[in-house]
């Protein structure tokens, strides 16, 4: 961020952001809270998760108006998670301790930070899981589901296996079977990264049927600010497995009106990233696109 022409106080604020947020985020997960009154819940969790690689920074929007403006903060509290100099999640909507713990656990695990790194599985399972994920990434969802089913016979209680199987089933259009698998898991497993990722994929696939989108595209062509039609188009594209088109449509809405429908496009976009996996290269690329819209 350029400092030419800024006051001494503004330069100090920028230096503080670099020192307290950007640099620490190279190795830790930094929770950046824009507020007028810091959240005691976030304060408590930051202390609880400090040993796991979580750091909390608060910015008083009344005092650091320049930084708040750069981040386009329009309401308080606004809370972002930063890692390696980039915002990786908007966690403003997570308010309860249980919700925040869930999202922190997921971020730490998927980004492989501190004690949140994935626990190694049995040697017999690990290579099979890698093979199933590779097959799924290549687009052969039925074959991937078959691999994950075999693994599940070997490790029926492994939540990572259950989540992977559910994602493969969703990708293959077997929505009801995926829903049955996830519904049968213990209630306390819902906040586990593999399960929440699979649930996000299921929710996206259930949001709108894969269908002919020509009518929606015609409506958007006639009125580029028809955000409802564009949002429906994003849902249809996501349901059809076209993540790029879904991301493009959602980012277009965010760029035109980030607060449309109480931030529905941004929420759906983050759900799309969660379904893909927060450490996935595609997700990282999409995060950078979102950052360019929100923070420049």
The DSSP secondary structure of 171-189, one letter per residue, reads HTT-HHHHHHHHHTS-GGG
Residue the block writes with tokens 């599940």 = 152
With bands split at pLDDT 50, 70 and 90, how would you rate the model's confidence at 12? Answer: confident
- Greatest Cα pair distance in the chain: 65
Residues 185-218: tens digit of each pLDDT = 998 888 788 898 999 899 888 876 556 788 999 9
Give the pairing type, strands 29-35 and 86-90. Answer: unpaired
pLDDT of residue 6: 54
Range scoring the smallest mean pLDDT among 55-64, 193-202, 271-280: 271-280
Q: Has residue 69 got a pLDDT over 80?
A: no
pLDDT of residue 270: 86
With bands split at pLDDT 50, 70 and 90, how would you rate the model's confidence at 180? Answer: very high
Calculate mean pLDDT across residues 7-34.
82
Residue 169 in contact with residue 145, Cβ under 8 Å? yes
Full-model pTM: 0.55
Which tops the pLDDT comparison, 284 or 168? 168
Give the pairing type, strands 29-35 and 54-60. Answer: parallel
**DSSP letter assigned to residue 52:** G
Cβ neighbors of 241 (< 8 A, separation 6 or more) are 171, 210
């Amino acid at each position: 961020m350029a400092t030419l022409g800024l006051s001494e106080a503004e330069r100090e604020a920028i230096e503080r952001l670099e020192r307290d947020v950007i640099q620490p985020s190279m190795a830790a997960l930094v929770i950046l809270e824009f507020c007028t009154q810091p959240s005691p819940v976030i304060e408590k969790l930051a202390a609880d998760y400090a040993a796991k690689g979580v750091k909390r920074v608060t910015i008083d929007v009344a005092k650091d108006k320049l930084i708040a403006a750069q981040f386009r903060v329009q309401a308080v509290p606004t809370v972002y998670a930063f890692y390696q100099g980039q915002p990786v999640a908007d966690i403003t909507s997570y308010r309860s301790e249980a919700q925040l713990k869930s999202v922190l656990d997921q971020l730490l695990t998927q980004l492989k930070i501190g004690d949140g790194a994935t626990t190694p599985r049995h040697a017999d399972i690990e290579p099979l899981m890698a093979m199933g994920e590779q097959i799924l990434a290549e687009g052969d969802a039925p074959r991937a589901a078959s691999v994950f089913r075999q693994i599940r016979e070997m490790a029926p209680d492994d939540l990572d296996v259950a989540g992977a199987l559910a994602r493969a089933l969703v990708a293959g259009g077997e929505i009801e079977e995926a829903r049955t698998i996830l519904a049968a898991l213990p209630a306390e497993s819902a906040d586990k990264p593999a399960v929440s990722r699979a649930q996000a994929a299921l929710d996206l696939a259930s949001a709108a049927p894969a269908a002919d989108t020509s009518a929606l595209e015609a409506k958007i062509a006639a009125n580029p600010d028809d955000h409802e039609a564009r949002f429906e188009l994003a849902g249809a594209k996501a349901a059809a497995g076209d993540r790029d088109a879904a991301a493009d449509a959602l980012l277009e809405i965010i760029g035109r009106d980030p607060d449309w429908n109480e931030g529905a496009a941004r929420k759906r976009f983050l759900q799309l990233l969660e379904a893909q996996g927060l450490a996935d290269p595609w997700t990282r690329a999409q995060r950078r696109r979102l950052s360019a819209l929100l923070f420049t």
